Chains A and B, each alone.
Chain A
Amino acid sequence: MFKVLLSRLGQAALVMLVVSAVSFVMFRYVGDPVATMSRENASVEEKAELRRSLGLDQPLAVQYGRFLTRTLSGDLGISYRNQRPVTALIAERLPATLELVIVATILSLALGIPLGVLCALKPDGIAARLVQAVSLIGISTPTFVTGIVLILVFAVSLGWLPSFGRGQVVDLGWWSTGFLTVSGWKSLILPGITLALYQLTLIMRLVRAEMIDVLSSDYIRFAKARGLPTRYIHFRLALRNALMPVITVTGLQIGSLIAFAIVTETVFQWPGMGLLFIQAVSFVDIPVMAAYLLFVGLLFVLINTVVDILYAVVDPRLRARSA
C-alpha cells in the first residue's frame, strides 16, 4: 500500500509541476501583463517600473519559484474581468459545478450499471439492442444539442422545469447548495440529465464489455462447472469483477465531467466553474484560465490518487502486493 501510494504521490507531484509550469507560462507570456496593466499612454520608464514592481526583471527560475510560492499560499491573482481574487471566484463557483457533477455521476452509475449488465447478459435481447441503439444515438448527439432539446421540451413547451440557473440556493458556510430547496432540485434536473447522458453511455458500455469479458473467463466457467446458480454467478461473482475497472473510469470521468460541464453550464447558464472558464476564454482572462487549469489538474490528481487507494483496498491482488 505504501509503495503504491508513494509512486502515486510522485506522479501526482509531477503532474502538478508540469501543470503549474504551463500555467506559469500562460500567466507570464500570454497577454503581456505589462501591456494589459499599464495605461495606454504609459511612458517607457513607467513600463519599466511596472516591470520591476511585478518582478518581471528577475531570472525566469526565480519568477517561477515565486509563482509557485504564491500559488501554494492560495494566491492565484486577480481576474481581469471580475476584479476579484481568482481563488475567491473559484471557491464561489465550485459548489455549483460539484453538485452538478455529483448528481450526474450518481445518475449515470445508477442507470449505467444495470443497463450495462442487461446488455451483457442478454446481448441479443430486444431490450439490450434497444439500449445499445439509444446509447449510440446518445454518444453521437453533442451535449449542447441535447441540452437545447431538453430546454425546448421541458422548460419552454411544457414549462415543468426551469431553463437556466441554480434556482434558490442556501449558504452553508462558504458552500452554497441547491440541494435544500425545491427550486434548487428542479433546476438540477435538466443540466444533471444532460451531463449524465454522456457518462451514462460510457459506463454502460464499459460494464457491458467488462461483464462479457468476465463471463467468458475461466473462473466463471469454473463456477458454472461447479453448478452454482446463474443469478449468483452473474451478480455476486461476475459483477464484482466487472465493476473493478468501473471504479477507475468513474474516477477519471469525474475529472472529465468537471471540464465537460463547460458545455452544459453554458447551455443552462449554470453559474459554475465551467461557465467561469468559458467566459474567461472569451475575455482572455489569463489568471482565471491559468487557475482553472491548475485547479482541474489538482482535482484530477486528487481523484486519481483516491481511486488508486480505493482500488488497492478493493482489489486483493494490489492489497497484498503493498502489504
Chain B
Amino acid sequence: MNAHSTPVLAIDSLRVEYPLANGSVFTAVENASLVIQPGEIHALVGESGAGKTTIGNTVMGLLEKPGRIASGSIRIDGKAFDATKGSAAGIVLGRDVGAIFQDPMTSLNPLFTIEDQLMEAMRFHLKLDKAAASARALELLESVGIPEPRRRLKAYPHQLSGGQRQRVVIAAALSCNPKLVVADEPTTALDVSVQSQILKLLRDLADSRGIGILLVTHNMGVVAQIADRVTIMHRGKVIETGSTQEVLRHPKATYARALIGAVPRIDQRLDRFPVLGDEGKGRAEEARAELRAKAERQEAGVDEAPILSVENLCVDYTTSGWLPGSAGHRFRAVDGVSFSVRSGEVFGLVGESGCGKTTIANVVSGLVRPTAGRVTYRGQSIAGEGATHRVGPLRQAIQMIFQDPYSSLNSRMRIGSILSEPILFYRLAGSRAEAESDVARLIEAVGLEVDAAQRFPHAFSGGQRQRLSIARALGARPKLIVCDEPTSSLDVSVQAQILNLLKDLRDATGLTLLLISHDLAVVRQMCDRVAVMRQGQIVEQAESETLFENPQHPYTQELLSLVPTLDRIRGETQAA
C-alpha cells in the first residue's frame, strides 16, 4: 500500500440533513470524515440509525430528496464530488465508483439477462461495442468465480442462487474498473458459508486490483475478518476511527468499548454481557421474585428427567394444487430429529437458514403438526403420536418468544391488553384488577416502567418490544419458553441486554429455555447443551463447552471456522 498515493475517497466534515414536515431538521450525519487509500477496505460500522448507510448512499450518489448535504466535502480520487447531483468533474458514477447492495435478490432487474445488465454500464461508460462488452462480461463472471460463466450470461437473475447473484452484483460493480467500491451490508442477507466466500472475494479484489472499498456493515465479525481500517459511528457521529486491530482490541471511546464488548464471543463463555447503563435492577428483581412466588412451582433446581423430549420428529410441507387430487410438491423440513431438554437448562438448536430449526420450534409450541414422531412434555405427548388437543395447563406450560419485535406485538392493542390476554385466558388472575397488577409486575420484571401498559407498541423501541414479548410469555407462567431467534433482528448492544434479561429470568424463575438461533456465538453464550442441525437433521449434539471446544462433526467444524468473529482479527491472524 502506498500511503502517499491519492486517496480514492476522502470525506471531510460531512453533514447530511433531512428537513422534516414540521419544519425542523433531522441530522443524519454530522461532521463525519474518513479517508480510503487504494487497495484498502474501510469498514463503517454502527448500529441502526448510526448514519452509516446515509454516508454510503451519499457516496453512491443515491442521496434521496429531501436529503441534502449541509456542509463538508467528498473527494473521489482527489476530485470534488457533488453528491446531490451525483457527479464530479472527471468522475463518473458506475465507472469510477462501483456499488454493491445488501440484498442480491432485489438488486438485479428480473426482466433482463445477466449479460444485459453487465453490459449496459460498459456500453455507456466505456463505449464498448456489443461483442467487446459481452466478452468482458464473461471475463468478469469468471473473475468473481461463477461456475459455468458462459451459460450464466444468458440466465435471468431468478435462475441464480443468492450467493451467485451477489457475485453478479460485484461483477457489475467491477465492470468499468472502478477505483472505489461502496458495499452496503454486502453479506447480511447471506448464510455463513456464502458470506465467507463473498468476503474472501472482496478482500481479493482489494488486494489484487487495488480497489478501495467502503464497507458499510453492522457485523463486527465481518469487520474483523476483512477490514484494514474501521470507523465506528453512533447517531450520525464518528465515535472512533483507526486500524481494525487497534479499534477492536483497544477501543478508546466508551461507546466503542460497550459496542465491542456486547458482541458475543465464540471463543469463551462469559457470565453476562457487559452493557452500558443500569438495567433497573432493584425493582426488576423484586418483581421477578414476586412472579416466582406466584408460580406454584412443584420442585426447584435442575431436574434430571427431561421436561421436553422430541422423538423421531418428521415434518413434511406440501404445497397443494388448487384442483382436488392434483398432488402438490412435497418437502421434508424436519427428518427424524430426536433430542430432549432437561428441566431448568437452556438448550440450543443451531443451524443455517432452512435447516428446520424453526419448524421444530413451531411443533413444540403447537403451531405446526408433525408428520411423524412425537413430542412429549413431562412424559405426556403434546404433538404427534398419541397427542390430544392441547388445552389448559399443557398449553400454558410452553410459551414462545419471537424473532421480529416489530411484528410480535399487535400494533392495534395496548400493551396492557396484550400482556393481560394470556393471564385472563388461562384464568390466572381472580379479577381484572389482579390481572392488572400482574401485568405491572411483568412489565417491571422485564425492566420497563409500569406506565407502559397504557401505551401502544409503536411507542417502544425494538429492544423494549422484545422485553414486552418476553413479559407476555412469562404472563402464562410457563415452564418452558421456546425462543425463536430472539435477538437476531436487534442491534448488538440491545441483543446483549435481551440475552442478559433471559439469563436473569432463567436464574430468577427456574425456567427452561429452548433457544433457536443461527448465531453460534449467541448459542455458546447462552446454552447448556447444543444441537447442530443441517438439512432437517441433527448432525451433532453435545454439552455446549464440549461442542465448541472440540467439535466432532465436520459440518460443525466448518461452521465454526467460517463464522467471522472478533477473536480472529485480520492482521493478527497473519501475524500469528
Contact = CB atoms under 8 A, between A and B. Distances in A.
A222 interface: yes
A221 B101 CA distance: 9
A315 interface: yes
Interface in A1-37: 7, 10-11
Interface in B8-54: none
A219 B158 contact: no
B109 interface: yes
B106 A228 contact: no
B101 A320 contact: no
A6 to B, nearest CB: 9
A240 interface: yes
B521 interface: no
Contacts of A133: none
Given A227-B125, A316-B156, A320-B159, A222 B93 contact: no
Contacts, number: 87
A223 B121 CA distance: 9
Contact of A225 (B60, B110, B113): B60
A121 B103 CA distance: 25
Interface in A236-253: 237, 240-241, 244
A219 B61 contact: no
A221 B97 CA distance: 14
B187 to A, nearest CB: 16
A238 to B, nearest CB: 9
14 contacts: A218-B101, A218-B103, A219-B107, A222-B107, A224-B62, A224-B86, A225-B97, A226-B94, A226-B120, A226-B121, A226-B175, A227-B86, A228-B120, A316-B158
Given A225-B93, A320-B158, 14 more contacts: A218-B103, A222-B108, A224-B93, A225-B94, A225-B182, A226-B94, A227-B86, A227-B95, A227-B124, A228-B94, A228-B121, A317-B110, A317-B156, A320-B159
B322 interface: yes
B169 interface: yes
Contacts of A154: none
A227 B92 contact: yes
B225 to A, nearest CB: 25
B111 A316 contact: yes
Contacts of A7: 321-323
A323 to B, nearest CB: 10
A175 interface: no
Nearest to B321: A7
Contacts of B350: none
A232 B120 contact: yes
Contacts of A237: 109, 112
Interface of A: 7, 10-11, 217-229, 232, 237, 240-241, 244, 315-317, 320
B107 A224 contact: no
B103 A225 contact: no
B172 interface: yes
A248 to B, nearest CB: 15
A224 B156 contact: no
B349 interface: no
Given A7-B322, A228-B94, A317-B156, A223 B109 contact: yes
B101 A229 contact: no
A224 B158 CA distance: 21
Contacts of B106: 217-219
Question: When A and B form their complex, which 10 residue pairs have the shortest distance between CB atoms, in order from nearest?
Answer: A227-B94, A225-B99, A227-B93, A226-B94, A218-B106, A316-B156, A219-B109, A222-B107, A226-B121, A218-B107
A241 B157 CA distance: 14
B91 to A, nearest CB: 10
